[in-house]
Structure formats: C-alpha cells, structure tokens
Structure 1
Amino acid sequence: MIAVPLAMALLGLAACSNNNYADVVRFHNSAPISRGTLAVVASDPLVQQSLEFRTHAETVAIEMRRIGYTTGLPASQTQYVATIDISQADAMGNVTRPGVTVGAGIGLPIGSNSGLGANVSVPVGRGSRRNPNMRSTTLAVQIRRNADQAIIWEGRAVKEARVGEPGATATGAVPQLANALFREFPGTPGVTTQVRLN
C-alpha cells in the first residue's frame, strides 16, 4: 500500500535533483537597449588570447548575434563591449577559469559596484557546496557602451552537473549558459529565475 506513494516521492526527488536548469539573474535599468556592433572580451586580459577563451567568447558572440548585435570587430571599433567571466567551482570552493586557476571569490563584479545590481546576492549553484560529486559553472556577462563606458546590462547564469558528465566541463556548460542568459533578452531585472537548458 505504501509502495506507490514511496515511488512517487522518489520520482519527485529525482526531478528536483536533475540539472536541466540554470539559475539566471539579470540587471538593467529597464530603458530600451539598442543593438549595434559589439566585441566580446575577457574580464581577465591574461586569458584574452587563449584558445580556450576564444572558443567560449565565440559561443557568447553567437548568442549576441542571435539577439541583434553584430560581432567581429576589435573592441576599439565597436559601439558596445561585452566583458565575460567564466568560472567553475567544486565542492571545496576551488575556482578555475579558462587559462588560469585562482582562489574562490574572484571574478566579474556582477551586482557589486555597477550601480545596476548593487547589493543583490547572486546564486552560486544549487547544492555544489554540499555534494562533492557536483561542479557548478558560472557565466557572467557585462555589456558597456563604448562611447561613455556606461553599463547597460549585466547578468549571470549558473548551472550544476555531476563530475565526469559533459555538462561539468566549461566546453559543455558555456553554450547552455549563454543560451539561457540571453533568452528573452534583456529579461526581468533583479529577479533570479530557473531557465530550462536546451
């Protein structure tokens, strides 16, 4: 008699623990965001020319083109610059980035000093600190207008995957995170949402 409710409960737990979603938060001042030419650059200039970063930058550029931006020009010649930061964290809080390994807590200051998302906490992934078999990947993007360096949009997407699965690697996670982050651009400001990954 209790087998069916138990089975349903287990199915519910399985559904809650699947990693087909990203936690996404975005900030902007709700003014219309114009499209134009845009360059994608690294938050850390040391990794700008690495092959790994360039692969991830092109992934973000694909999504930017999808929402109406034109990419391919040097940053000095574009109307906008998108600064991206990609990081992965394990259960011990160790953080790695394309081309460099650093301690936790370093990265693009989304929601800290920009004025758009100040003093708003941003998720770091569901359960990655508790489960040693999980790894969280974060993609943070900040778009500035080149003419006056004003920040017009910023956002962060975080997902988890079990170590050993493709989604636990930056190569596997970044395309999913970029798609989730720029879906329905610019998004509702200041609200953390769960976006289903493609």
Structure 2
Amino acid sequence: MKPLPLALGISAALTLAGCATPPGPVEVTRFVAPDRMAQLGQGRIFVETAAGVQEDSLALAPYKAAVADELRRLGYVESDRGNAGQIAQISLERYVIGSGGRRSPVSVGVGGSTGSYGSGVGVGIGINLGGGPKDRLGTELAVTIRDKASGQSIWEGRADFQPPENSPLARGSANAQTVASALFREFPGNNGETIEVEVTE
C-alpha cells in the first residue's frame, strides 16, 4: 500500500529528529454512507464523547479539540448540541505494546468501543511491529458522525497510531493532532478503505 504524506502544521516537535526510531504510520479505516455524502463537510456540528466511554475530561480534551479543529477546516461550523445538524461522537483507547508484542491498556480514564463501527462489521486494526527494545504507546481514535435528526451514522473513522513511547508524538496535543489529522485526511475517503498515513517527527 503506497503511503501518503501527512502535512501537519502543529508544533516544532514534528520537525525534530530526536527519536532515532521512526514513529510509524497512522493506520486509518473509514466508512461512508453513500446516500449521505452530500451532508458531509458542511453545516453545524457538535463534538461529544461517544456513549459508553468512561470519560476523563483531561485525557480526552486534546482529542476532542483536535477533531473539532479538523471539522472546522473541512467546512463545518462547531455548534452547541441544540443547534447542531450533525453530531461527532469520539472514543479513545490508549495502550502499550511491549518488546514482546503484547498489547496492554493504559489507565487514562477513557476507553470502550465505538459500538456499530463499520455497520456491525468488526475491524481489527493492528500493525505487526516485529518487536524491538522499546515500548510503543498506542492511540486508537474513533469518530462517528451522525445525522442528529435520524441518529443515522453517515461517516465513521478509526485511526491507530503506535509511536515509540519516547517519541514527541506519543502523548499530549501532538499525539492528538497527529491522529486527528490522519483520520480526516482526504475526507471523507472511500467506503471501507484502509490507508496508512506516514508521519515524520
């Protein structure tokens, strides 16, 4: 699969070469309702935590802010829930992959699944890293955009990023902006397609 370049004007950290190990790609999978394409990228939208997520506002806040920034860039107007025509629901999972390849959760107070992601078709996202001396700190960000009136999902996306734990892109706002930018790259994308978006520090 041909990697796509990722333009991220987010912080000087992205231009640093302080980490010898490449941070790896962001793997992105998206689903689009073909009959609702015209609704995407316009109108008023409200960003909220997905149902079933154990919300930790401090941990989730940079990801909600990064998603909101991307939605505004695409042409949406952020609104309160009462005046919004669409709802963007966000869930987040952080995890560690040790040198043996074992995936363990990170206790950041957020987690859970995205429910009907991919219209009930389970999509397991994982990158075979081949081991290594350093742990990787993974982020899986999922966003579902729903029509508020009907509750129907019109777009769903999931981004999975596994940089080394000592990478400047592994935590905080740089991590949030990296995965959100990759998730919404060439929005809305093709239905059911998985791409890899290359990231450099």
Instruction: Give the TM-score taking structure 1 as reference length.
Output: 0.75
- Pick one of 16, 23, 30 that aligns with 1:19: 23
Which structure: larger Rg?
1
The answer for the alignment partner of 2:46 in structure 1 is 39
Give 3-state SS (helix, strand or coil) of 1:175's partner. Answer: helix
Match of residue 14 from structure 1: none
Q: Answer 1 or 2: which has greater helix percent.
A: 1
Distance, in Å, in 2 between the alignment partners of 1:33 and 1:173 is: 30
Shift of residue 120 of structure 1? 4.2
Query: How far, CA to CA, are the matches of 2:64 and 2:89 in structure 1?
Result: 9
Question: Which position in structure 2 is the counterpart of 1:80?
Answer: 86
Secondary structure of the corresponding residue to residue 141 of structure 2: strand
**Quick one: which amino acid aligns to residue 26 of structure 2?**
A
How does 1:58-137 map onto structure 2 within 5 Å?
Answer: 58-71=65-78, 73-91=79-97, 92-96=102-106, 98=108, 100=109, 106-109=112-115, 113-114=116-117, 116-127=118-129, 130-131=131-132, 133-137=135-139
Q: Which runs of 5+ in 2 are unaligned?
A: 1-20
In the alignment, is the contact (CA less than 8 A) between 1:95 and 1:101 conserved in 2?
no
How far apart are the structure 2 equivalents of 1:127 and 1:189?
A: 26
In the TM superposition, structure 1's runs of 4+ consecutive aligned residues that sit over 3 Å from their partners are none
* Stretch of structure 1 that moved more, 178-187 or 24-33: 24-33
Rate the CA distance shift 1:67–1:78 in 2: closer, same or farther, 3 A: same
Cα-Cα RMSD? 2.4
Superposition deviation, residue 28 in structure 1:
1.1
Alignment counterpart, residue 194 of structure 2, candidates 188, 192, 195: 192
Shift of 1:101: 5.8
Tell me the SS of whatever aligns to 1:66. Answer: helix
**Identity in percent:** 25
The CA distance in 1 between the partners of 2:54 and 2:137, in whole Å, is 24
Larger relative contact order (CA 8 Å, sep ≥ 6): 2
1:41 and 1:125 map into 2 onto residues whose CA distance is 28
How far did residue 30 of structure 1 move? Answer: 2.2
Answer yes or no: is the 8 Å Cα contact 1:25–1:122 preserved in 2: no
Contact 1:137 1:159 in 2 (8 A): yes
